[in-house]
Chains A and B, each alone.
Chain A
Amino acid sequence: MSFMIRFIVAAVVAGTPLLFGTLGEIMNERVGHLNLGVEGMMSLGAVAGFMVGYRTDNFALALIAAFAAGALGALIYAIVTVTFMANHTVAGLTLTIFGIGLTNVIGFHYLGMSESGTLKLPEHITQQMRAVHITGLSDVPVIGPLLFQYNPFVYVGIVIAVLLALFYNFTKAGLNVRAIGENPQAADAAGVHVLAWKYVNIVIGGGICGIGGAFTIMITNGGVWISDCVGGLGWIAVALVIFATWKPVNAIWGSFVFGAMRILKYYVNKEIIHIPDAFYDMLPFLVTAVILVLVSARQVRDKAQPAACGTNYFREDR
């Protein structure tokens, strides 16, 4: 039992950076932009979050910085694709290369300035990032560890997902945004400010990705700087969007399932089941590829990518 609890808790933690990346990408794709820059935006969030945390020793400021850096990366992407109508695939790839590159340049720069040759977040902020402890609740057996002993990121991620789901399903603005991703001509003709909403969603989505990036360096790596800290999670997030069929609530459990796949290899009894580690690492991608094929084969219209995804919008093109 306690083994199971440990596994679930580990899966949730491993899935949390994915949750942020996925939610950010959902916000992009919902306004019709397939943004392959998630990895880059997460990297930017990681470096900004880390460096601000390192300098200020303030968790809240670090989170804001991570959000701002991801959002700034997304803003470049938005300018290039929304206003200048460039190809989404190429712009996204560029953002990834640019983001990772910039992250490593800054990290290298700071590493060069440190005396020990390593960078570690100070004590105070490390305390704040630790798992919460709510007296009473956290100590309840089973439920305590399963629900009330995570680090703050986990709760922030879930709250964002729920808010997004409410936004898309129950507000007028959410309806308008979904309309943009499906048919920007229709949304524009109905009086929705297509370009403005695209900017807002892409930029906020990028900010959310940035927080996920901060997670990778603050939690996964325990606050010690390494280069390439996001390590491909951004790409899994792009995959997860498909798995979640573009719905924020599905992203919650989807990312925890993917988190479970990431850590599965540490929890399987190697004496009994002989599967090479590489296959566990491959699993999320394999599963996503299969889902992608199944979704396309079944042609479920309501579970497909927003119809206008990957295309640019110019009002006078009809």
Chain B
Amino acid sequence: MSEQIQTHKEPLIRVSKRKELTPRQATLLKLLSLVLALIAGGIFLAVLGFNPLVIYATIVTGAFRSTLAIQGTVKIMIPLFISALGVTLAYKMQFWNIGAEGQIIIGAIFASYFGLFHSNWPRPLLLVVMLIASMIGGGLWGLLPAIFKNKWNTNETLFTLMLNYIALHLIAFLRDGPWRDPANPGFAKIATFTENAILPKLFGIHIGWVIALILFVLVYIYLKYTKHGYEISVIGGSKATANYAGMNVKKIVLRTIFLSGAICGIAGFSNAAGSDLTLAMGVAGGVGFTAIIVAWLADLNPVGILIVSFLFAVLDKGSSVIQSSYGLSTDCSDVLEGIILFFVIAGGFFVKYRFVLRKKKNVGTPTQVKGGEAA
């Protein structure tokens, strides 16, 4: 068999490691990916028969055309931003939790219990209790997979996925049974909150945005300057190193995942008491999944999360305007988000690797780098 002779040369293109890009170069790379994604998205719009430039312009102006529109954009941003901060804590620890959706729901359920059945309490007290309840609810829902992960190394991705749906059907159960609004005999729904259980407004938007900003500062400081934050980073780097450093890894995992879930729970509270004014089936509505994408795009950096969740909110809000103006479905924002993310995560490849084109044999030409192009 060894008599067979290899005659073909190197493949035309192959992957090779490169000197790692600096964070600044990596950011530039991301921007480049974003631009390419917008071009690809533009091609998609053009195929559908729309002028991409007009659509893009409408999305941006649509999100800001009036005070009402701006308020709408911020309202979309609030839950996304809060839950992205929440999942960041888990992801920093390499805990592949996709359960934000469920944690948002359980947070909302816990808060709604007080909103529905203790609406006679003084408003500030009631709202604070609802906030705390939502944190406990979201936190406990997050703890479940962490406990099993600690004990039996149960796969947290798949487990949290199941918990999302269990939580969703819990709302349906409450809606159809114990919490059903008797005032509405025909159609099963949960009663609207009374004034006391509704978040007050500031500058025309429910104060969920204030809560979000406070959380932003807290999470930023927590991750960057506290001992807990340091422990999270070490565990994210290597569990063996954390053990070696004397850390109680299991305890830290439980604590962090509880906090992560608690923050997502707050998003549920803010949605129920600020936007829906009741416990609705769609209280999470996919935000928990989008939040993961936001956190990832932002490299788990709170400042980045602020920027990315803002951009996503603009995209979402603007898309609702193009639906009314151009008859293009509002789901267009999901398509554009998807394209952007595909480009950015594929572009991440170039931080560590490069493509090498075939070169002539035995000639010491410098290796060529193929830039940018992704997906």
Chain A residues proximal to chain B, CB less than 8 Å: 34, 36, 76, 79-80, 83-87, 89-91, 93-105, 107-109, 112, 227, 232, 235-236, 238-239, 242, 276-279, 281-282, 285-286, 288-289, 292-293, 296-297, 299, 305, 310, 314, 316
Contact = CB atoms under 8 A, between A and B. Distances in A.
Main secondary structure of the interface of B (DSSP, over half): helix
Interface in B306-344: 327-329, 331-335, 337-339, 341-342
Given A97-B286, A105-B48, A296-B154, 18 more contacts: A76-B375, A89-B292, A91-B345, A93-B293, A95-B338, A102-B331, A227-B331, A232-B165, A242-B158, A281-B172, A282-B166, A285-B162, A285-B166, A289-B159, A293-B152, A299-B152, A310-B96, A314-B15
A273 B225 CA distance: 56
A94 B342 contact: yes
B370 interface: no
A90 B333 CA distance: 18
Contacts of A299: 152
A90 B173 contact: no
Contacts, number: 168
Given A89-B98, A97-B334, A286-B162, A109 B342 contact: no
A314 B354 CA distance: 12
B346 A80 contact: yes
B333 to A, nearest CB: 7
A100 B337 CA distance: 12
Contacts of A109: 48, 328-329
B337 A101 contact: yes
Nearest to B173: A278
A267 B186 CA distance: 23
Main secondary structure of the interface of A (DSSP, over half): helix
Contact of B155 (A90, A101, A236, A292): A292
B172 A316 contact: no
Given A100-B331, A112-B327, A292-B154, A94 B338 contact: yes
Contact of A276 (B173, B327, B329): B173
B158 A239 contact: yes
B159 A292 contact: yes
A24 B172 CA distance: 30
B293 A297 contact: no
B44 to A, nearest CB: 9
Contact of A97 (B151, B165, B338): B338
B73 to A, nearest CB: 19
Nearest to B96: A89
Nearest to B292: A93
B339 A278 contact: no
Interface centre among A76, A80, A83, A87 (most CB of B within 10 A): A80
Contacts of B48: 105, 109
Contacts of A239: 158, 161-162
A94 B176 contact: no
A98 B339 contact: yes
A173 B290 CA distance: 38
Given A84-B346, A278-B170, A94 B341 contact: yes
B345 A86 contact: yes
Contacts of B164: 235
Nearest to B332: A105
Given A100-B334, A102-B335, A105-B329, A94 B345 contact: yes
A269 B148 CA distance: 36
A164 to B, nearest CB: 21
Contacts of B334: 97-98, 100-102, 104
Nearest to B340: A94
A19 B308 CA distance: 37
